[in-house]
Amino acid sequence: MATIAVTGSTGHLGRLVVEKLLQSGVEPSRIIAVARTPARAADLAERGVQVRAGDYSDPASLPAALAGVDTLLLVSGSELGQRVAQHTAVIEAAKAAGVGWIVYTSAPRADVTDLSLAAEHKATEEVLAAAGVPFTVLRINWYHENYTAQLGQYLSQGFVLGAAGDGRIRGASRADFAAGIAKVLTTSGHDNAIYEFGGTPFTLAELAATITEVTGTTVTYRDVTVVELAAALGQAGLDETTAGLFAGIDGSIRGGALDVDADDLQRLLGRPTSSLADAVRAAKV
């Protein structure tokens, strides 16, 4: 059986992928959890998973982290502005280590979207395609948790504030995305494929209605302009650049950036993705 390495293994998505691999029957000793801080993966080590130190920003740490790896899941980094260099370092180290297949978590329609966060993903996809190593790109839509993590705020203020208009978001739970990724990692036929992973579409107005239905507390959607949203986010404590970035994302959603009509995830899972209502219920507990 191939040895599978998962980078970012102590992050939200990477951790779930490791769990899904274990649940699917992959021998723990064949899983390599690469982490910037290995101590945070001590529980995985106790279960027989190989835990190795590896830091995207420290290329010298990567050869040992990737030694003997057959398949690599490169979970995209979170440091905006640094990711192309970081991802390139991992891809180059993987090629040098003889990794036979690299799977990368990208952004929806990364090659054509105006979504600001996608530029680094597009550049990484180009580096990956030029590396000469078989690859698979998984373009991950929005996590339900991007919104349900703010459930308490929505309930206390009585509204969801956004600038997305009627733009649809084909979101799914992190667990569903992780299950789809694990399925790809443990099956064949994905060489040089690009998959769009998403779930059942919803608008922010539908998010508010779902919160109302599940919790019994009335929450509405308050649609504003991108400029107004940026100002509100600034008043909430975000710096000007970050506020502008997040407000701009809503503007892209309004234009359809996250409304990607594809069933790749559902096809691989062999089932529908979990519902937005389920996500709200889980966050409510």
Q: How many domains does the chain have?
A: 2
The CA–CA distances, whole Å, from 183 to 21, 25, 44, 51 equal 8, 11, 20, 21
- The pLDDT score that the predictor gives to residue 285 is 61
Instruction: Please give the residue range of the domain that contains residue 238.
Output: 144-168+200-260+274-284
Q: Give me the CATH number covering residue 208.
A: 3.90.25.10
For 189-203, write each residue's pLDDT tens digit. Answer: 999 999 999 999 999
In-domain check, residue 245: yes
48 located within any domain: yes
Q: Is 180 within a domain?
A: no
Residue 31 sits in the same domain as residue 69: yes
Query: Which are the contacts of 25, defined by CB distance < 8 A and separation ≥ 6?
Result: none
Domain boundary among 121, 140, 159: 140
Q: Does residue 82 sit in the same domain as residue 158?
A: no
- Is residue 123 domain-shared with residue 153, that is, in the same domain? no
pLDDT given at position 1: 65
Helix (H) or strand (E) holding 197: strand 193-197
Which CATH number is 113's domain given?
3.40.50.720
Residue 267 lies in a domain: no
Considering the domain boundaries, does residue 163 fall inside one?
A: yes
Residues of the chain with pLDDT under 50: none
155 and 132, same structural domain?
Answer: no
Residues 154 and 256 in one domain: yes
What pLDDT does 2 receive?
87
Given this model, what pLDDT does residue 78 score?
87
Same domain, 116 and 163: no
pLDDT for 81: 86
- On whether the CB atoms of residues 45 and 26 are closer than 8 A, the answer is no
Q: What is the pLDDT of residue 25?
A: 96
Same domain, 154 and 86: no
